[in-house]
A and B are shown apart, each in its own frame.
Chain A
Amino acid sequence: MSDNDNIARRKILGGIAGMAGVSLASGVTLFSFAGAKEPGDAVTSKVRWGMLIDAGKCADGCDACVTACFKENGIGSTGRPESDPQWIRKVEVRDPKSGATKSLPVMCQHCAEPPCVDVCPTGASFKREDGIVLVDKHTCIGCRYCIMACPYKARSFVHEEITDQKTHAPRGKGTVEGCTLCVHRIDAGGTPACVEACNDTSGGAMLFGNLNDPMSEISKRVAKYNTRQIRADLRLDPGIRYRGL
């Protein structure tokens, strides 16, 4: 079969797939995660994972996302809150003039230009092709330079020995850690635990998706509504966006 035949076949097949997608689409998207990959495939920059958080729907005093994150990743309290790891936290912002307050979750903002990666002396802090910023704990020496460089206070240091970690979330003393965007779930085609918890038990303030796919729900909303990145003036281009701030 010649290359031309191959291309023609692909076009036909693509057309059929597209029709299937359209015929099912009445507010329901069949291919919600076009970025889902096979376990053996490497991640690519065709995908940019991101999140849209609607501060208007995020209830004051609700910490479903924080609890879900801690449960998913096996983060327990040491009894010393000052040095406890914080992958995600609820922050209350207040307009000093009007006194109006907003409650919202803040975690690693998964910047396109992450300062934690710039400063890391060993290359342990890195950005995956699909935009997820991670710590490779195999090479992290625990210098904590990234903690200082991050304007979002998104990273934590593990001060004490940990036992009984979750299989999918290795954590250990002497390394820096932070939100992984639940990379183990994403690689299996899932969504982060915080988003799932927010949608299941709370106001559904969090939306996760592929910012590079114009057809994804998150891209459509980002295009439609006025959304903001925190400290956009730093031009780090975070993958986490907020609406109603």
Chain B
Amino acid sequence: MIVLAAAAVFLTFQTFAASRTPLPFIPKAVQKAEEGHAKVMRRNHMNLMFHKRDQTVRKGIRTDLNSLKGCVACHAVPGPDKQPVSFESPQHFCRACHDYAAVRIDCFSCHTSKPPGGEDLAVK
């Protein structure tokens, strides 16, 4: 029995240590999202963002769900100085996966990658 338990522990350790594939470290969001958000977003965020950006730019629809600002604010990652990091930093939420998958995004060549602060909060 003891041998079996020991074997089980050993096996578990082995499996853990044997996962040689490095996985991206995904930073925690600031707020708790509703059920299923992560699952849907992981697969569909690019399509949703395309769809919603057109709604916002072309039709002026500016709900919280349409807001890239909302994404950036909730997924802010604090840097060493406790201030949110920009896309320059590999710690940035979007970069965590995009670096891993080697998919280059150009959202942040125009949009700011930091959450709004101060006066910006007033305007959605």
Contact = CB atoms under 8 A, between A and B. Distances in A.
Contacts of B53: 138
B110 A168 contact: no
Tell me the dominant secondary structure on chain B's binding face: loop
A168 B123 contact: yes
Contacts of A173: 109
B20 interface: no
Given A167-B69, A188-B123, A188-B124, A39 B61 contact: yes
A164 B112 contact: yes
A138 B112 contact: no
Interface string A89-100: 000000000000
A170 to B, nearest CB: 4
Contacts of A164: 112, 114
A128 B58 contact: yes
A39 B58 contact: no
Interface stretch (A40-48, A106-114, A212-220, A236-244): A40-48
Contacts of B98: none
Contact of B59 (A42, A166, A167, A170): A42
Contacts of B120: 166-168
A172 to B, nearest CB: 3
A170 B57 CA distance: 11
Interface string B36-80: 000000000000000001110111111110000100000000000
Contacts of A128: 58-60
Contacts of A78: none
Interface of B: 53-55, 57-64, 69, 86, 109-112, 114, 116, 120, 123-124
A39 B97 CA distance: 31
Interface size class, chain A: 20 to 34
A39 B109 contact: no
Contacts of B61: 39-42
Interface in A146-162: 161-162
A37 B120 CA distance: 20
Contacts of B59: 42-43, 128-129
Given A128-B58, A138-B54, A167-B112, 13 more contacts: A40-B61, A41-B61, A42-B60, A43-B60, A126-B58, A129-B59, A162-B110, A163-B86, A168-B123, A170-B110, A170-B112, A173-B109, A183-B60
Given A126-B58, A134-B57, A167-B116, A39 B110 contact: no
A137 interface: yes
A118 interface: no
Contacts of B54: 136, 138
A184 to B, nearest CB: 6
A134 B56 CA distance: 12
Given A138-B53, A166-B120, A185-B123, A171 B58 contact: no
B55 to A, nearest CB: 8
B109 A184 contact: no
Given A39-B124, A184-B123, A188-B123, A165 B60 contact: no
